[in-house]
Amino acid sequence: MSENQQLPESFATELESLYRRLQPKYPSVGQNSAVLPLLHHAQQLCGGWLPKAAMDHVARLLDMAPIRVYEVVTFHTMFHTKPMPKHCVGVCTSLPCWLRGADKLMAHCRARLGVRHEEGISADDNVYLMEQECLGACVDAPLVTVDGVYHGRLDEEAVDKLLRSLREDNHVGS
């Protein structure tokens, strides 16, 4: 985790204003549940990842121990603790997706993107490829996320189309 990352100027005000809007949605004893939407917004404000200063800010806002916020961040694959490439592609490899060919799709993505390890950054530095656990949309297996947007029932041809849209930079989530 980066210790000295400068937060964007509007970070504190934007996060506090979101928290004020979220507060009525949670019972007074469950305010800490706002940690997920706050972290999502914080990550967006920080350009796609969460520096330590941003997580600490969320912890202060919710009066939580910072370690509890770090635990949430490191548990969920949609949060990143280091700078990421512009795009993020996730292939769900849990059982229902695996039964519908997720491992073949993952291998296909690796080959197309030039990722040499299980997960990692593409040869052109533009995409981070990762495996994901069940995304709760097994009905559409096999599932791939691109910048957080779900794409289901994909075959290799459909994945190629998605990856091409990232290269041309016209993906719906970008």
Binding site for ligand FES (CB under 6 A): 92, 94, 96-97, 134-135, 137-138, 141, 143
CB nearer to ligand FES: give 61 or 106. 106
- Local structure of 96: helix, strand or coil: helix
Kindly state the smallest distance separating residue 154's Cβ from ligand FES, in Å.
Answer: 11
Q: Residue 13 class from Cβ within 10 Å (0-12 exposed, 13-18 middle, 19+ buried)?
A: exposed
Kindly state the smallest distance separating residue 133's Cβ from ligand FES, in Å.
Answer: 8
Nearest alpha-carbon partner for 87 in 158, 159, 173: 173
Kindly state the smallest distance separating residue 44's Cβ from ligand FES, in Å.
Answer: 23
Kindly state the smallest distance separating residue 138's Cβ from ligand FES, in Å.
Answer: 3
CB nearer to ligand FES: give 34 or 154. 154
Residue 63 burial (CB count, 10 A) = 8
Kindly state the smallest distance separating residue 100's Cβ from ligand FES, in Å.
Answer: 8
CB nearer to ligand FES: give 51 or 90. 90
> What is the identity of the amino acid at 149?
V
Q: Residue 44 class from Cβ within 10 Å (0-12 exposed, 13-18 middle, 19+ buried)?
A: exposed
What is the maximum alpha-carbon separation in the chain?
A: 49
CB nearer to ligand FES: give 53 or 134. 134
- Enumerate the β-bridge partners of residue 16: none
CB nearer to ligand FES: give 131 or 156. 131
